[in-house]
Amino acid sequence: MAVRYRYIAWLLVAAVYHLPSFQSMGVDLRMNLSLFITIYISSILFLLVFHVIFYGLWYLGLVARVAGKRPEFWTILQNCAVISVACCVFYSHCGNRAIVREKKSSGWFSFWKKEERNTWLAKFLRMNELKDQVCSSWFAPVGSASDYPLLSKWVIYGELACSGSCAESPDEISPIYSLWATFIGLYIANYVVERSTGWALTHPLSVKEYEKLKKKQMKPDFLDMVPWYSGTSADLIKTVFDLLVSVTVFLGRFDMRMMQAAMGTVQDSEQRDPLYDHFSEKDDFWFDFMADTGDGGNPSYAVARLLAQPKLRLKTSDSMRDLPRGDLLLIGGDLAYPNPSAFTYERRFFRPFEYALQPPFWYKEELIAVKKPEVPDGVSDLRDYDGPQCFIIPGNHDWFDGLHTFMRYICHKSWFGGWLMPQRKSYFALQLPKGWWVFGLDLALHGDIDVYQFKFFSELIKDKVGESDSVIIITHEPNWLLDWYWNETSGKNVAHLIRDHLNGRCKLRMAGDLHHYMRHSYVPSDKPVYVHHLLVNGCGGAFLHPTHVFSGFRKFYGTPYDMKAAYPSCEDSSNIALGNILKFRKKNWQFDFIGGIIYFVLAFSMFPQCQLNHILREDSFSGHLKSFFATVLDALLYVLDHSYMSLAGALILLIAAICFVPSKVSRKRRVIIGFIHAFSHVSAALILMLLLELGVEMCIRHKLLATSGYHTLYKWYRQMEMEHFPDPTGLRARIEHWTFGLYPACIKYLMSAFDVPEVMAVTRSTICEKGMESLSRGYAVIYYASVFLYFWVFSTPVVSLVFGSYLYICINWLHIHFDEAFSSLRIANYKAFTRFHINRDGDLEVFTLAVDKVPKEWKLDPDWDRELKQPQQLSHHREHPSKWRAAAAHQDPLSTVRIVDQFVVKRIDHILDLPFQGPAVYLYLTASQMLQVEGENSYSCVGDNVFIEEHEMAGAIEELQSPSDGFFFLFQFRL
For the segment 640-651, the average pLDDT, to the nearest whole number, is 94
- Please say if the pLDDT value at position 144 is more than 90: no
* pLDDT value, residue 773: 87
- Please say if the pLDDT value at position 109 is more than 60: no
Comparing 427-436, 532-541, 864-873, which segment has the lowest mean pLDDT? 864-873
pLDDT > 90: percent of the chain: 48
For the segment 380-405, the average pLDDT, to the nearest whole number, is 92
Comparing 90-94, 455-459, 541-545, 801-805, which segment has the lowest mean pLDDT? 90-94
Of the pLDDT bands very low, low, confident and very high (cuts 50, 70, 90), residue 38 is confident
- Measured between alpha carbons, how far is 341 from 187 in angstroms, rounded to an integer? 40
Give the predicted TM-score (pTM) of the model.
Answer: 0.79
Angle, CA of 129, 134 and 139, to the nearest 5°: 150
- Please say if the pLDDT value at position 694 is more than 80: yes
pLDDT tens digits, one per residue of 322-333: 999 999 999 999
- Please say if the pLDDT value at position 351 is more than 70: yes
* pLDDT value, residue 139: 59
Q: Which residue, among 644, 627, 646, 601, has the nearest Cα to 690 in the 3D structure?
A: 627
* pLDDT value, residue 103: 39
Residue 474 has φ and ψ, to the nearest 5°, of -115, 125
196, amino acid identity: S
* pLDDT value, residue 272: 54
Longest dimension (CA), the chain: 132
Q: Which residue, among 897, 782, 836, has the nearest Cα to 312 in the 3D structure?
A: 897
- Measured between alpha carbons, how far is 128 from 134 in angstroms, rounded to an integer? 10
pLDDT tens digits, one per residue of 840-885: 999 999 999 999 999 999 999 999 988 987 878 899 999 999 999 9
Of the pLDDT bands very low, low, confident and very high (cuts 50, 70, 90), residue 153 is low
- Please say if the pLDDT value at position 631 is more than 90: yes
Q: Which residue has the higher pLDDT, 412 or 61?
A: 412
* pLDDT value, residue 928: 35
- Measured between alpha carbons, how far is 389 from 399 in angstroms, rounded to an integer? 23
3-state secondary structure 628-651: HHHHHHHHHHHHHHCCCHHHHHHH
Mean pLDDT of the chain: 81
* pLDDT value, residue 336: 93
pLDDT > 70: percent of the chain: 75
pLDDT tens digits, one per residue of 756-783: 888 888 899 999 999 888 888 888 998 9
Q: Which residue has the higher pLDDT, 747 or 802?
A: 802
* pLDDT value, residue 954: 34
- Please say if the pLDDT value at position 544 is more than 90: yes
CA atoms within 13 A on the CB side of 941: 20
Q: Which residue has the higher pLDDT, 565 or 169?
A: 565
Give the helix ranges, DSSP H, for 468-534.
479-486, 492-496
Comparing 144-148, 267-271, 416-420, 555-559, which segment has the lowest mean pLDDT? 267-271
- Pairing label, strands 517-522, 559-567: antiparallel
Report the phi/psi class of residue 61: left, alpha or beta, with left for phi > 0 and alpha for psi in -120 to 50: left
Comparing 244-258, 274-288, 313-327, which segment has the lowest mean pLDDT? 244-258
Is 327 within 8 Å of 281 (Cβ atoms)?
A: no
- Measured between alpha carbons, how far is 286 from 306 in angstroms, rounded to an integer? 14
Cβ neighbourhood burial of 537 (10 Å; 0-12, 13-18, 19+)? buried
SS3 31: helix
Is 30 within 8 Å of 717 (Cβ atoms)?
A: yes
Of the pLDDT bands very low, low, confident and very high (cuts 50, 70, 90), residue 441 is very high
* pLDDT value, residue 248: 57
- Please say if the pLDDT value at position 519 is more than 50: yes
- Quickly count: other Cβ atoms within 10 Å of residue 447's Cβ: 19
* pLDDT value, residue 931: 39
- Please say if the pLDDT value at position 127 is more than 70: no
Of the pLDDT bands very low, low, confident and very high (cuts 50, 70, 90), residue 667 is very high
For the segment 816-838, the average pLDDT, to the nearest whole number, is 96
Comparing 214-228, 499-513, 787-801, which segment has the lowest mean pLDDT? 214-228
Long-range contacts (CB closer than 8 Å, 24 or more residues apart) made by 318-323: 323/286, 323/835, 323/837, 323/847, 323/849
